[in-house]
């Protein structure tokens, strides 16, 4: 979880990648299966947030907005309206199955981002605040955009300050 004076970013990291078959055939059962995996992660994340809101963690609710974010190893390309609709339909089905109110989708809209996008996104968040970035991302006309194009378009000045070579020393140690 990352917090500041403007909100809380609840982060769930998943290693699952979109399978090759699902990437190329959007009406294939493989896509439906992969969307089920990410939908399960989203609903699991909402369950974790609900537990935190119910006082079952060290985090204490201060009334600031909560922004659920599911991080993946690579981009899932869920910006097509049809695929996004398929995902939300599965999320709704799983929310009902787990007894979580569908209201969470409007109260705390989820985002999905690849880790490479998050590395830039969190640097922009550090400059302008969680609320400034995530409220615009989750409630605006760019809701369906991937994180990196969104922040590039919405925060061009802040993007100039992004360090694209994070942890260079660590990478050098691993590679040599």
Residues of the chain with pLDDT under 70: 16-27, 76, 78-79, 166-168, 171
Query: What confidence score (pLDDT) does residue 141 get?
Result: 85
Angle between helices 81-97 and 29-53 (to 10 degrees): 50
Q: How large is the C-alpha radius of gyration of the chain?
A: 17
Question: Residue 56 is encoded by which pair of tokens?
Answer: 């079952």
pLDDT in tens, 44-74: 999 999 999 999 999 999 999 999 999 998 7
How far is 125 from 23, CA to CA, in rounded Å? 30
Those residues with Cβ within 8 angstroms of residue 21's Cβ, 6 or more apart along the chain or in another chain:
28, 30, 31
Q: Are 118 and 137 in contact (CB under 8 A)?
A: no
Global pTM reads 0.86
């Amino acid at each position: 979880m990352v917090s500041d004076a403007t909100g809380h970013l609840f982060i769930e990291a998943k290693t699952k990648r979109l399978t090759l078959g699902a990437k190329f055939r959007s009406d294939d059962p493989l896509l439906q299966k992969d969307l089920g995996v990410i939908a399960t992660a989203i609903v699991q994340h909402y369950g974790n947030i609900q537990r935190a809101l119910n006082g079952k963690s060290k985090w204490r609710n201060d009334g600031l907005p909560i922004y659920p974010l599911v991080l993946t190893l690579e981009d899932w390309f869920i910006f097509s309206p049809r695929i996004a609709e398929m995902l939300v339909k599965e999320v709704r089905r799983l929310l009902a199955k787990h007894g979580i109110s569908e209201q969470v989708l409007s109260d705390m809209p989820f985002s999905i981002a690849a880790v490479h996008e998050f590395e830039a996104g969190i640097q922009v968040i550090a400059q302008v605040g969680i609320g400034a970035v995530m409220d615009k991302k989750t409630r605006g006309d760019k809701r369906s955009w991937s994180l990196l194009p969104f922040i590039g378009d919405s925060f061009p000045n802040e993007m100039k300050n992004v360090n694209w070579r994070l942890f260079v020393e660590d990478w050098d140690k691993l590679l040599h």
